[in-house]
Structure 1
Amino acid sequence: MDATRHIMSDALYHLMVLMLILGQGVQSMPVPTDVPMCTASEPAQYRITFTGKWSRAAFPKQYPVYRPPAQWSNIIGVTHSSDYHIWQHNEFASNGVREFTEKGEAWTLMKEVEAAGERIQSVYGIFSAPAVVGGTGQMTTEFEVFARHSYLSFIVRIVPSPDWFVGVDSLDLCDGDHWIDNLSLELYPYDAGTDSGFTFSSPNFETIPQDKITQITSSFPGHPANSFFYPRLKHLPPMAKVILTKIRKTNQIIGMPMEPTQSNQLPTGNEIEDNLINTPLDCEVSLWSPWGLCKGKCGESGVQHRTRYVLMHAANNGAACPMLEEERKCFPDNCL
């Protein structure tokens, strides 16, 4: 299963590279727009580094350890003008976003991006980077922005999950007549609104009618079974982050995705400190069972018991489990 998943990930990576090469002729066309635009005279090239911070310590509830373990899909990114959105908070996900967030399939999403470039000439560049085979790892690639296409959007699927993802929608990298040099953003989970599963490994359960894209928080959705439900927290820890760095322009129009290496799969630098985040997880127990039969001699008081069981054990100094068995005095019924 893992080998098959790795082959599919490689296939998606090479598909992205192929579409990036074939689409450059269309993507580089200028875009007329009435929106105030960036006035930078030259295009800029950026390096984007995505770092997963999805550790078991930070997100202990139902953390997936196998079939499949916690990991990240390929990043799919677009540089574009202000009139385009690959996804948007509080709006309905497209069919392409649905297939990508639920199944990791990018064909439809790529066709939607390609169509936007051809129809309204809003898309300037497409980029991708290989998947991260772990909850904490990195992927890096480069991309170029143009004055009339100064916005960056991207999406990364959370694997496994019903339809959850992290990403950025329409980040403008231009400030007046110059490009932003460096930028760091923390990323939090979103629900695409197409699947109603509550946990990372929930089976497919289509949302009918489809909901809009919403941000997942420590209290929303407010169901105790939800994998991100941490009522003691005001805010979830960041699940990932991206660092954007403007680099010196080269002759290459759009940087090709870099293959992952052992060094960029592991946390480096400040990531060691990030991994020390410990989210407390309180013990969760079931409801009490009905009281059992009263055990005792006729005419004398007896004892009856009820029990409950642990739904989820405490972690990271969370509240310990309460007692699981209780007894009370009773008087036997139907004594002869």
Structure 2
Amino acid sequence: MKNFTLLFLFLCFNPLLFSQTTAVYDVVFNSIWNEADHGTFPNNPHWSKLVGVNHNANITFLELGGIASQGIEDVAELGINDAFEAEVQTSITNGNAQQYIDGDQLATATGNIEVLGLQISEDYPLLTLVSMIAPSPDWMIAVNGVNLRASGTWENSLVIDLYVYDAGTDSGMNYSSPNADITPHVPITSLSGVAPFNTEKVGTLTITLQQVLGVNDIETTNHIQLFPNPATSVLQISTETTSLSEVVFYDVLGKKVKSYKNTSNSKELRIDINSLTTGVYLVKSIANDGSNNIQRLLVK
């Protein structure tokens, strides 16, 4: 128990550990989609899940004037994210992206979608996000490769006005137009000032820095990553090289408070942490090859 307590103090208070390598951001999409600015609403106006990726400059997932991929087409037309997630996973495998970002949907025209505690590595500082305005032919809001280190250091806060884009995959002219695929696809264009939209934004994206983590907060044996951190109810753990056999949680006094056995041999784990109270914990990840490491986790 003493060793764990000493390790916690070392991680928390050793100033040599805190070089700028990974930042934790909160991302909030605020929708102000309304009939006065954006045309008479369809039945059941809503937004699909806000999905995305953080990546490097070697890859572009969508851009104004570019042709939509199958993943972007599926998001913009159907609010279905499987193909886009597969594109992200391919980029992760190729070393060009860090993680797939799986945000919530919004069941109403106005309101917020929040992605909290998003860990962004310095190696993958570009943020791309997309959500379907629904129902619609192929309309979406999106940001492409927002650089969170444009000035060479982590941005403290960004507020981006959002306008609707046409994915160029369906020729429908209003919210309830029947399916009318465009073959071949045409470039992605802005619908600002194009009916049913006027030139007013449909929302904002606010990206706020919460903390910067040092090397020993995030670099781990076998490239193990915890997300989100801070966490609230669910902790995701991913590994690149070997799967984990067990994950053990200790409080700051070194007392074991929770353990999780990985019976599926998966490299992607989702662990319910609702039983943990607010505070700092040490997470010991034990790999199948016998190696292990300890990371700090903040539970809100």
Check whether TM > 0.5.
yes
How do residues 266-281 of structure 1 correspond to structure 2 at under 5 angstroms?
A: none
Quote the Cα distance in structure 2 between the aligned partners of 1:185 and 1:160. 23
- Following superposition, the deviation at residue 253 of structure 1 comes to 3.2
> What secondary structure does 2:98 align onto?
strand
Paired residues, what number? 203
CA separation of 1:258 and 1:70: change in aligned 2, threshold 3 A: farther
User: Is residue 2:222 matched to residue 1:247?
Assistant: no
Q: Which residue of 2 aligns with 1:149?
A: 124
**Hey, what's the Cα distance between the residues in 2 that align with 1:197 and 1:129?**
27
Equivalent runs, 1:162-241 vs 2, <5 Å: 162-218=137-193, 220=194, 226-228=195-197, 230=198, 236-241=199-204
Q: Report what 2:21 is aligned to.
A: 42
Q: C-alpha distance in 2, partners of 1:83/1:237?
A: 33
Equivalent residue of 2:110, what SS? coil
Change (3 A) 1:243 1:85: same
Shift of 1:177: 3.9
Q: 1:130 aligned to 2:99?
A: no
Check the 8 A contact 2:103/2:115 in 1, yes or no.
Answer: yes
| 8 Å contact kept, 1:45–1:249 | yes
- Pairwise CA distance, 1:176: 4.1
**In structure 2, distance between residues paired with 1:258 and 1:244:** 19
Corresponding residue of 1:321: none
Deviations 1:233-255 (A, max 9, x none): xxx11111111110025768332
In 2, are the aligned partners of 1:125 and 1:144 still within 8 Å (CA)? no
Name the residue aligned to 1:51: 30
Gaps of 5+ in 2: 1-18, 218-224, 234-300
Residue identity in the other structure for 2:205: V
**Structure 1: any 5+ residue segments left out of the alignment?**
1-39, 221-225, 231-235, 260-336
What secondary structure is seen at the aligned counterpart in 2 of 1:179? coil
1:63 maps to amino acid = F
1:167 Cα deviation from its structure 2 partner: 1.0
2:46 corresponds to 1:71: yes
- Who is 1:115 aligned against? 90
CA distance in 1: counterparts of 2:65 and 2:150, whole angstroms:
26
Q: Tell me, yes or no, if the aligned pair for 1:129 and 1:141 is still in contact at 8 Å.
A: yes
Q: Secondary structure at the match of 1:113?
A: helix
Shift in alpha-carbon separation, 1:193–1:175, aligned structure 2, 3 A:
closer
Report the identity percentage. 25
Counterparts of 2:48 and 2:196, CA distance in 1? 19
Q: Which amino acid aligns with 2:35?
A: R
Residues of 2 paired with 1:242 and 1:254: CA distance? 21
Aligned amino acid, residue 91 of structure 1: G
Contact 1:191 1:213 in 2 (8 A): yes
Query: Which deviations, in whole Å up to 9, do the C-alpha atoms of 1:215-240 show, x marking residues without a partner?
Result: 1121x4xxxxx422x5xxxxx11111
Partners of 2:232 and 2:169 in 1: CA distance: 32
> What secondary structure does 1:206 align onto?
coil
TM-score (norm 2): 0.63
Larger relative strand fraction: 2
Counterpart CA distance in 1 for 2:152 and 2:171 is 45
In structure 1, C-alpha distance between the alignment counterparts of 2:212 and 2:144, rounded to whole Å: 25
Q: What is the CA-CA distance between 1:86 and the residue it aligns to?
A: 1.7
Taking the aligned partners of 1:81 and 1:164, their CA distance within structure 2 comes to 26
Distance 1:177 1:213 in 2: 30
Q: Distance in 2 between matches of 1:258 and 1:171?
A: 26
Q: Do residues 92 (structure 1) and 67 (structure 2) align? A: yes
Amino acid of the structure 1 residue aligned with 2:168: G
For the pair 1:62 / 2:43, whether they are aligned, the reply is no
**How far did residue 58 of structure 1 move?**
2.9
What is the alpha-carbon distance in structure 2 between the residues aligned to residue 130 and residue 227 of structure 1? 26
Residue 42 of structure 1, CA deviation: 2.2
3-state SS in 2 of match to 1:170: strand
Question: Which whole-Å CA distance do the structure 2 matches of 1:104 and 1:206 have between them?
Answer: 16
What CA deviation, in whole Å up to 9, does each residue of 1:90-132 have, x standing for no partner?
110001111111111111111111111112x100122122111
Partner SS for 2:50 = strand
Query: How far apart are residue 258 of structure 1 and its match?
Result: 7.8
Residue identity opposite 1:239 in structure 2: V
After TM superposition, the runs of 4+ consecutive aligned structure 1 residues lying more than 4 A away are 249-252, 256-259
